[in-house]
Amino acid sequence: MDYDKLGLKIGLEIHQQLETSKLFCKCTSKLVDEYDCEIIRKLRPTQSELGDVDRAAVEEAQKKLRFKYQVTENNCLVETDEEPPHKPNRNAIDVVLMFSKMINAKTVDEIHFMRKVVIDGSNISGFQRTALLSVDGKIDNIKIQTICLEEDAARKIKAEKDFVVYRLDRLGIPLIEIATAPDIKTPGQAKEVAEKIGAMLRATKKVKRGIGTIRQDLNVSIKNGARVEIKGVQNLRSIPDVVEKEISRQLKLIEIKNKLEERNAKISYELFDITNIFENTKCKIIKAMIQKNGKVFSGKLSGFSGLLGGGENRLGKEFASKVKRIGLKGIFHSDELPNYGITENEVEEIRKNMKLDINDAFVIVSEKENIARNGLNIILSRAEQCLKGVPEEVRKALPDNTTEYMRAMPGAARMYPETDIPPVSIKKEEIDKIKIPELFDKKIKRFMETYKISFESAKQLVARGYDEMFESFVKKYEPKIVARTFLNIIPEIEPELESKGMDASAIPEKTIEEVLGFYKEGRFAKEGISKVLLTAVTEPISVEEAIEKAGLLTKTGLVISLGDIENEIDKILMEKKDFIKEKGKNSFAPLMGLVMKELRGKADGKIISAILKKKIGEMR
């Protein structure tokens, strides 16, 4: 893609938990599995200072949800909203000031906390407390617009039939929020900026580590598109793909808008009750709903024929995600019919009943009448937005890096002053006293000069947060092996760890050090590090037991001898002698694969390669 031609603009919002106690009380910021009691609440939108109600809050209220909050040993009356907040955590404020100083941002003279209306249940009070601390920083050529301090939300546990359940252990953990300007021009650059911000935050030594402690939100727009905020991109590796897929989605919506203009498309909000057409239907979803006294309604989309289906960015998917929030699942559109038990005759009957032209499409919903009517009106409203192009909205990142509708873009009415917390003055002398850690670029340069590693290796060690462990380990082990362990071996085993619900950042430092120690003793070759490390992390056994389980321990407890290597190679060459005669020197690569399958981790790959080449030469 030509990103300049597309007019691509990307902004980042990084939210990082701080390693301190809670923001407005002395409670510890540790997550727990047990809870002591539950509180039930229903949240409603409130007016701003000017009497306005935020549109995103109104939309959330339409779900009519109730919430159950699990209170843990790490909660007090502040988090249950039964007591006003205490003084803001000064340690948390100092961490934000330290980061602000690292990027030469301008700090405010006085901190004023605000209330941000949030009624999705994640805040028991119905709002999140947030404060602006600094503005106008810079990382390389990317402007940092704002740096805020806010409280983290409650942790969503599950959705029950009548309630959404949250746990209050996470509520109130301090978060630093860093928002860039939309200066980022490519998906790859977005990942690099996020990595650098993460490395700088870790350099403060005051942030939490592990799954869920840092979250990235993206703001993406293109020419003729719109700003879309994408929430909850957990993995830095996913950022480029999420951006690419959002670009494709917006391009598809722009293409649909242009086609609709050509067809003079329009939206009618007339709803058709077509329940009688499905009296004897074979469609299981519709049949089951009619048996529960539900109804079937349809809506007309003039000029939309052929534009609702097809591919990852199909418009039908956009409609479905809009009505998901009101619990409507029985939705069908004409581009995918006949299907799902809906016959050609039923489709023809619908088109006839609704008096549709060849370019007209229709949408069917099946539910209880009030939900069906409400859902169909939401769909028709979303279809009307297609006539204008890409809507501004907040979307949620999904595991496959696509996104789905989350809520409307909030407006200014979302914020109003927090009256329970007095302003906090920030004096110049306080900022002057703050010592900043070694900066990103300086550390990379020092690693290259001191440890004789490449720029890319040094950069990745710092960006991925392995710099401290690296410096600790190189006192005992060869720098290039240590760097390879962090930058190649851990990423290599990461997919398997994730498949078992584990996080690579949670690999114990002691385990990595023990694996490197046994390697240094000559207990296995460097090719065996990944196998031993994976086994030691995923099994409840010691590293020495992991070496044995990985099949790398010989009878003597030492690496395999040269004689054993030659014997293993001879055995394979005898089995493949006809293959060697046929392929000659081209047989080396396939045979090396077979030999390494037997000897990987038991001997150095260079030694195996040299012996194999020599023996193949002798046989030719």
**What average pLDDT does this structure show over 266-275?**
94
- pLDDT score recorded for residue 556: 47
Nearest to 168 by CA among 123, 116, 208: 123
* Signed CA dihedral, 231, 235, 239, 241: sign only: negative
Q: How far apart are CA 425 and CA 560, in angstroms?
A: 67
Half-sphere exposure of 76 (CA within 13 A, CB side): 16
Is the pLDDT higher at 41 or at 393? 393
Share of the chain above pLDDT 90, in %: 64
- pLDDT score recorded for residue 518: 87
Q: How far apart are CA 95 and CA 195, in angstroms?
A: 19
Instruction: Give the DSSP per-residue string, 445-488.
Output: HHHHHHH---HHHHHHHHHTT-HHHHHHHTTTS-HHHHHHIIII
E strands, 9-112, in order: 9-17, 37-41, 66-71, 106-107, 110-111
Cis peptide leading into residue 338 (ω within 30°): yes
Q: What band does 6 get if pLDDT is binned at 50, 70 and 90?
A: very high
Give every CB contact of residue 294 below 8 A, 6+ residues apart in sequence: 366, 367, 368, 369, 372
- pLDDT score recorded for residue 53: 65
The angle, 0 to 180 degrees and rounded to 10, between the axes of the packed helices 529-538 and 509-520 is 140
Predicted TM-score (pTM) of the model is 0.80
Q: How far apart are CA 334 and CA 323, in angstroms?
A: 18
Share of the chain above pLDDT 70, in %: 93
Does the pLDDT value for residue 163 go beyond 90? no
Amino acid in position 508: P
Q: How far apart are CA 257 and CA 485, in angstroms?
A: 50
Give every CB contact of residue 230 below 8 A, 6+ residues apart in sequence: 217, 218, 219, 220, 242, 246, 394, 395, 396, 397, 403
**Mean pLDDT for the chain overall:** 89
What is the DSSP code (8-state) at residue 489?
A: I
pLDDT tens-digit profile of 304-350?
A: 999 998 777 789 889 998 888 787 888 999 999 999 999 999 999 99
Q: What are the tokens at 294? A: 């539900």
Q: What are the tokens at 102? A: 């690292």
Does the pLDDT value for residue 554 go beyond 70? no
Give every CB contact of residue 524 below 8 A, 6+ residues apart in sequence: 518, 532, 547, 550, 552, 553, 559, 601, 602
How open is the CA angle 141-145-151, to the nearest 5 degrees?
A: 130
CA-based R_g, the chain, Å: 30
